[in-house]
Structure 1
Amino acid sequence: MTSHGTTTEECSPTPPTAEPATPSPGLYNADLAPTARKGRTWRSYSIFTLWANDVHSLGNYAFAIGLFALGLGGWQILLALGLGGVFLFLLLNLSGFMGEKTGVPFPVMSRIAFGIRGAQIPALVRGAVAVAWFGIQTYLASVVLRVLIVAVAPGTASWDTNRFLGLSTLGWISFLALWAVQMVIVSYGMELIRKYEAFAGPIILITMASLAIWMFGKAGGSIAWSTPATKTGFDMWRQIVGGASLWVAIYGTFVLNFCDFTRNAVSRRAIVRGNFFGIPLNMLLFGAIVVVLAGAQFKIDGKVIESPADIVKTVPDTFLLVLACLALLVLTVAVNLMANFVAPIYALSNLFPRVLDFRRAGLVSGVVGLVILPWNMYNSPAVISYFLGGLGALLGPLFGIVMADYWLVRRSRVDVPSLYSDRPGGPYHYARGVNVRAVVALVPTAAAALLMAFVPAFHAVSDFSWFIGAGLGVVVYLLVADRKGPFAEASGEAIAVPSKR
């Protein structure tokens, strides 16, 4: 453990192993390698802009506005989001510190608990969820782009009437244009992603705040703080705590693989500061915007909007409409890059390290996100619920197992070079590369998570399924884990690569 702002080397020197493990080509490449501490580029602002973009995503606005529709008033929504923000702040720090200390991405981090081969399980679960949502989010952004194109060139509306594989001509043009932009950005690696996030963050905050101010004025300088269906008493508090829990579940993907980003962080202090301003404080700002947007619209016509995009469509000035649409496009691309592109890239690179570097894995992820025709997935409740919902339910147990192994069993002691060694007898070789104890812990906890997600009898606790799954993962893993050790610790600097790529 280190104090905030102090490097691991300064506070607790890690003695090298007597004979450093030689990286195996089947486990190591320049993208999976640990990042050298010197030259890391992600400071507090870089971490903050991740959340400045992701918190204000269209999907999050739809979720939070949904709380208004479900009977929570203004202050109750703020409380639910505030509680969720506090939970996330703590969880993301735990996950982020792992990346800052070791410098490794999530698939490699998973080797600690699951073994050098067993790590494919959590990596592929996380990657599969992400690549599907990459395609879906690109499609949702393309809908905004279609609105923009028609606003600028009304004659193109006729291109939006036919259908081929589920999309119109204009739909295909919009989707492929946004798909190509993201592919270009990703082809330049994590550093360009960091720069894009830093560029997009202020744009999103200014746009959403401006939209809220405009709606506040349009509603006559006041808003509806609640609806006639607003809950009270026990139902209200259950909905508040349930909303906070669901807010954490939405970020179940991020708390699992946050180390993909913090492996480039300059210090723990940068992570804590970036998370503090980007999560609790930013989420309260987000909540205030949600309350104003939903409350203003409800006061105007008694209707609850589903997304800020609904308001953007009503902007009477074409120039302002175009600016608002462009801002939403910038936002959606920013969210997609960090939430849904990085994870499958590392998962694929971990699966085929000899042939897939960051750029090639990004191309494969993008092609998969295209050929699955994501608009058809999005329009299929069964696919969203059973496929993506089922995979998402596994994220809580996986988080619990990985965190329990790192923080409670090993006390953050990791032999980083051995994460890249396939020699029998290595600390992460286990049984043919798989830690059977971790798999044994995953099976019943994953089954419990799936039951809570899909069986109606468990509907009363479904809002809390992520926390229950994560808690069960911790408890069951601690019951079956080998806690005796000894657990060696060794720095990965000898095999590290520059973090700026």
Structure 2
Amino acid sequence: MSGSHATPPVVVITGAHPKLYNHDLAPTAREGKTWGAFSIFAMWMSDVHSVGGYTFAASLFFLGLTGWQVLLSMVIGISAVYFLMNLIGRPSLKYGVPFPVVARMSFGVMGANLAASLRGIVGIVWYGVQTYFASKAVQVLVLTWFPDAVSLTHDSIAGLSTLGWLSFGFMWVFQLLIFLNGMETIRRFIDFCGPVVYVVMFGLAIWILAQTGTSSLDLQLSPPAGGSIGAHMANASMLIVAYFAALLLNFGDFSRFARDEKAMKLGNFLGLPVNFIVFAVITVVVTAGTVQVFGEAIMDPVLIVEKIGNPWIVALGSITFIVATMGINIVANFVSPAYDISNLNPERINFRTGGLITSILSVMVCPWLFVSSPQAITIFVGIFGAVLGPMFGIMVSDYYLVRKQHVIVEDLYSMSASGSLHFENGWNRRALVALVLSGAASIGLSLLGTYKVIPNIGDWGWLVGASLGAVLHLALMSRETRVAPAPAE
């Protein structure tokens, strides 16, 4: 189904319905589980080591907290992410299935299309946005080495200059070529992305410290915050959880390939608590140093290397962060929509075709116009981003508390009315009610926080939505009598 490109071996489900099954959605076979702890670790490095991740980590030190208060908030927030990521990763690890198939357990074999579509929309939009951000680094690189190319920046075609279109097109094609080679190529690519960024980040930190000295660095980058320090620290911790909201839903797209639970947990531990905190410390050392070296706090690493002025350093820095952005884009924003779109019509759309559709739709979003409108981003995050928490709560409570970690695999691919996941014509109305109610609460909190009606309340939208979704789903499912019995071990 994937042409000449190698695909992981799968468990063939006899009698699977074609509306629910293809090679890419089938359970990964034992010999297809090739991701060890390092590959999971490298995946998280790719997710964190981006321009967006750098800016996010630096921004935490502008919340009016002291350096140790920020670090303590980070430890609490990223430890929570580690625990939650292990929870959502386990069903995919056990059964070898991606996120849209896991969603069938709670939403029903057809209702999972709604959950997958919502996650897919978020991924497509952010895929376009990240591709655009990476293309800006390409443009910096071109202008550094070919100053005459500035003449290509004076026009505007649908909101982008000629050079802007060429840079965006380059990034779009380059990422697509990597993706179309399949998950094993993606694994090898992200094994390379994360570590290479550390080389440049450590280089930047050493250069900054050489310019400023270690004794003069101040890790508090903004005036002390008023009000309760505990509340500010709690908000900082929740910001970290919210930052990982997308992958907290579809981490199963990767954990399905993990060799075993030990590899998944070790990779998650190294990639989340350890890696995130080390990366954040390096980030704040560099950011704090820019205050003394350049007279202002610069939170964009591409701009820092550009200001250094050496064209070779600009080239090294720009290429590194282009690679880094590609890494996070493929991990967080490309793989999930590819599976999600494939899930809509498995007979005609496989993983690679889903990825191609994702790429095309990401251009149609016109991300350069999207990021120039704060209101558009606000509405998008408020409506679509806020429902990721409720879906997480529903899926986790269903798997651990309703099904007690036991699912009949064949029912994941069955349209039979007697199947344990068929519910009402393939839709679990109880899960949908829980999603609507908890999603409304989460969206409301997000918008109240965004528009400063209640400051910082939006940071808690994910936790409130996830908790409410879990409780509502559990309460509504308590009357459900068709949960699959635990199979004999």
TM-score (norm 1): 0.91
Q: Aligned ranges for residues 140-155 of structure 1 at < 5 Å?
A: 140-155=133-148
Equivalent residue number for residue 205 of structure 1: 198
Structure 1 residues 275 and 46: alpha-carbon distance in aligned structure 2, compared to 1, 3 A threshold: same
Match of 1:488 among 444, 460, 485: 485
1:394 match: secondary structure: helix
Q: Deviation digits for residues 25-56 of structure 1, max 9, x if unmatched?
A: 11100111111122311110110001111112
Structure 1 residues 71 and 301: alpha-carbon distance in aligned structure 2, compared to 1, 3 A threshold: farther
Q: d(CA) in 1 for partners of 2:107 and 2:14?
A: 19
RMSD of aligned Cα (Å): 1.7
Q: d(CA) in 2 for partners of 1:309 and 1:146?
A: 11
Q: What displacement does 1:76 show?
A: 2.4
Q: d(CA) in 2 for partners of 1:363 and 1:106?
A: 19
Equivalent residue number for residue 28 of structure 1: 21
In 1, are the aligned partners of 2:82 and 2:273 still within 8 Å (CA)? Answer: yes
Q: What displacement does 1:125 show?
A: 0.7
Structure number with higher relative contact order (C-alpha < 8 Å, ≥ 6 residues apart): 1
Match of 1:332 among 319, 325, 328: 325
Match of 1:464 among 460, 466, 473: 460
Equivalent residue number for residue 220 of structure 2: 226
Structure 1 residues 490 and 321: alpha-carbon distance in aligned structure 2, compared to 1, 3 A threshold: farther
Q: What displacement does 1:302 show?
A: 4.8
Equivalent residue number for residue 410 of structure 2: 417
Q: Deviation digits for residues 279-299 of structure 1, max 9, x if unmatched?
A: 001011012112201211223
Divergent runs of 4+, >4 A: 483-486
Q: What displacement does 1:457 show?
A: 4.1
Q: Deviation digits for residues 261-316 of structure 1, max 9, x if unmatched?
A: 01111100000000011000101101211220121122335522232222121122
TM-score (norm 2): 0.93
Match of 1:430 among 403, 407, 423: 423
Is 1:474 the counterpart of 2:474? The answer is no
Structure 1 residues 205 and 447: alpha-carbon distance in aligned structure 2, compared to 1, 3 A threshold: same
Q: What displacement does 1:365 show?
A: 0.6
- Give the letter aligned to residue 488 of structure 1: P
Q: d(CA) in 2 for partners of 1:462 and 1:408?
A: 28
2:28 match: secondary structure: coil
2:24 match: secondary structure: coil
| Aligned-residue identity in percent | 39
Match of 2:309 among 313, 316, 319: 316
- After superposing the two structures, state which structure 1 stretch, 456-465 or 271-280, moved more: 456-465
In 2, are the aligned partners of 1:64 and 1:77 still within 8 Å (CA)? Answer: no
2:384 match: secondary structure: helix
In 1, are the aligned partners of 2:62 and 2:222 still within 8 Å (CA)? Answer: no
- Give unpaired runs (5+ residues) of structure 1: 1-19, 492-501
Q: Deviation digits for residues 127-162 of structure 1, max 9, x if unmatched?
A: 000000000000000000100111111111211121
Equivalent residue number for residue 435 of structure 2: 442
Equivalent residue number for residue 108 of structure 1: 101
- After superposing the two structures, state which structure 1 stretch, 282-291 or 453-462, moved more: 453-462
Q: d(CA) in 2 for partners of 1:136 and 1:28?
A: 31
- After superposing the two structures, state which structure 1 stretch, 148-157 or 112-121, moved more: 148-157
Equivalent residue number for residue 3 of structure 1: none
- Give unpaired runs (5+ residues) of structure 2: 1-12
Aligned residue pairs total: 471
